[in-house]
A = this chain, B = another copy of it.
Amino acid sequence: MSHISQQELNTLDLSTVDPNMIKEIISSLHPADAAEKLSSLDEDQLAEFFQDLDLEVGKEIFEFLPPEKQKAILPKLNRSYLSELISVMSPDDRADLVEELDEEFREEILSTLVHKERENIQDLIKYEENTAGAFMTTDYAFLWPELTIREAWEHLRQQAPIKETIYYVYVVDRQQRLIGILSLRDIIMADPDQKVGDVMDRNVIAVKVDDDIEHVAMEMNKYDFLAMPVVDPENRLVGMITFDDIFDVMTEEATEDMYHLANLDIEEQISTPVIKSVKLRVPWLLLNLATAILASYVVSLFSETISKFVALAALMPIVAGMGGNAGTQTLTVTVRSLTLGELKRLGSWYALFKEARVGFLNGLVTGTVMGVVAFLWFKNPWLGIIICVAMLANMFLAGIFGALIPIILNSMRLDPALGSSIFVTTATDVGGFFTFLGLATVLMNYLLGT
């Protein structure tokens, strides 16, 4: 179907290809594939390549390049091409790009644009990161209620080439307030003489410019929306967020939860250079180290106990570790349910009580198994009883802390995943060592059979 097969494409190394051939190969590809393929070229080659391309084709490919690559190419482009490219890019993509540039270069680019475009970019970059405003495009299609369907249709035909989507059309009043929505399908199926205002759905669902983008993603997922209108506090239509932006948000949001639970910075990727990875991870590891030293200090308080009965040293990591495992399970379920909004419906206390009970029962089951193992291994029934009770207590604690910590972080409007695993494992380490070694100290006479 394409001129070269997917197989050939995957193994093709552009840097070995004759420059005149590159253009031909690239133009036979979907812009996303073209961008992926071109990423292997260096910035100078890329800049030259783009300047040679038709602007419309170039823009499509450029928008699929990774942001770092886009940013790197810009200064290499000649100024007139650069200004044309920025003009044709979609408003949300170009605002994201311009925002990333250093101030001087940004001003230089802005100064080459016509007033209206400059203003559009300046409007869009003022929104805070991770809000609806920062993700929306201003290339939405809109209509007025007093138009007939026939007029609306003519209007859309003309707007089709320049709008991001014409499949959802918003209806606004003369103050630009959002009063209705029409799908292109509704328009196709309606009687051409009807008024837009009579056909439109007045039950519009919209988000606010400063809504969190994760909330927007959840809403679009809930309603299966192709695009979501964005309004300002006065309910005036200011933008639209499309499904493809939400694909990225969903992927990133999930990565964020996972990363934060593992104490990783969201910036990190497998391709991050070694030194940068180390710099990003070391602070978390040092924080972990500090809490590990705290747990170690608790153990050191029981040195005498351990020297009297050295098998305790071998068994104590089991109590702490199993608490950590159970706590991580609870933490993960709780964080995910907070992110997906399930806990909003059920209430935080629900999670806490549930997880406390699950922790207790899991502690009962695994504690009993370990109690029997310890008894058989060391031929000491009291050792079995002590480790069983300590595991039960610690896993109960794990259930409580695993649910409580993300709920507290969330209620403080912090990310419920961030740092929570450190709190939870500190609790289960300290709790595990303390209950196990503490019980052993109190019951030492029984343990030694004296």
Interface residues of A in 195-250 (CB under 8 A from B): 202-205, 220-224, 226, 243-244, 246-248, 250
Scoring A29, A259, A317 by chain B CB atoms within 10 A of each residue's CB, the highest score goes to A317
With a cutoff of 8 Å between Cβ atoms, the chain B residues found around residue A409 in the complex are none
Q: Which residue of B lies closest to A285 (CB)?
A: B366
A445 at the interface (CB under 8 A from B): no
Scoring A188, A275, A350 by chain B CB atoms within 10 A of each residue's CB, the highest score goes to A188
Interface on chain A toward B: helix, strand, loop, or mixed SS? helix
A361 at the interface (CB under 8 A from B): yes
Interface residues of A in 229-288 (CB under 8 A from B): 243-244, 246-248, 250-251, 253-255, 257-259, 261-264, 268-271, 274-275, 277-278, 281-282, 284-286, 288
- Given contacts A1-B204, A223-B32, is CB(A318)–CB(B303) below 8 Å? no
Contact check: which of B166, B202, B318, B343 meets A185 at CB < 8 Å? B166
Give the contact stretch, choosing among A71-79, A116-124, A129-137, A306-314. A306-314
Chain B nearest CB: distance from A179 CB in Å? 8
With a cutoff of 8 Å between Cβ atoms, the chain B residues found around residue A98 in the complex are none
* Copies in the assembly, this chain: 2
With a cutoff of 8 Å between Cβ atoms, the chain B residues found around residue A288 in the complex are 321-322, 325
Interface residues of A in 380-416 (CB under 8 A from B): none
A157 at the interface (CB under 8 A from B): yes
Give the contact stretch, choosing among A12-20, A45-53, A142-150, A334-342. A334-342
A434 to B371, alpha carbons, bound, how many Å? 24
A340 to B203, alpha carbons, bound, how many Å? 37
B317 touches A317 (CB 8 A): yes
With a cutoff of 8 Å between Cβ atoms, the chain B residues found around residue A310 in the complex are 303, 306-307, 313
- Given contacts A254-B258, A358-B278, is CB(A318)–CB(B289) below 8 Å? yes
- Given contacts A1-B203, A160-B188, A332-B258, is CB(A299)–CB(B313) below 8 Å? yes
A295 at the interface (CB under 8 A from B): yes
A365 touches B278 (CB 8 A): yes
Chain B nearest CB: distance from A262 CB in Å? 4
A11 at the interface (CB under 8 A from B): no
Contact check: which of B1, B263, B318 meets A292 at CB < 8 Å? B318
A203 to B295, alpha carbons, bound, how many Å? 61
Chain B nearest CB: distance from A141 CB in Å? 11
A326 at the interface (CB under 8 A from B): yes
Interface residues of A in 350-369 (CB under 8 A from B): 350-351, 354, 357-358, 361-362, 365-366, 369
Q: Which residue of B lies closest to A361 (CB)?
A: B278
Scoring A185, A189, A261 by chain B CB atoms within 10 A of each residue's CB, the highest score goes to A185
- Given contacts A250-B251, A270-B342, A317-B429, is CB(A282)–CB(B244) below 8 Å? no
B343 touches A317 (CB 8 A): no
With a cutoff of 8 Å between Cβ atoms, the chain B residues found around residue A334 in the complex are 270
B270 touches A296 (CB 8 A): no
A365 to B354, alpha carbons, bound, how many Å? 41
A274 to B365, alpha carbons, bound, how many Å? 14
Q: Which residue of B lies closest to A304 (CB)?
A: B310
A interface with B by C-beta (< 8 Å): 1-2, 28-30, 32, 36, 156-157, 160-161, 166-167, 179, 184-185, 188-189, 202-205, 220-224, 226, 243-244, 246-248, 250-251, 253-255, 257-259, 261-264, 268-271, 274-275, 277-278, 281-282, 284-286, 288-289, 292-293, 295-297, 299-300, 303, 306-307, 310-311, 313-318, 320-322, 325-326, 328-329, 331-334, 336-337, 340, 342-343, 346, 350-351, 354, 357-358, 361-362, 365-366, 369-370, 373, 425, 429, 433
15 contacts across the A-B interface (CB closer than 8 A): A32-B222, A167-B184, A221-B247, A247-B247, A255-B336, A255-B340, A258-B336, A263-B328, A269-B333, A270-B336, A270-B337, A292-B318, A299-B313, A299-B314, A303-B313
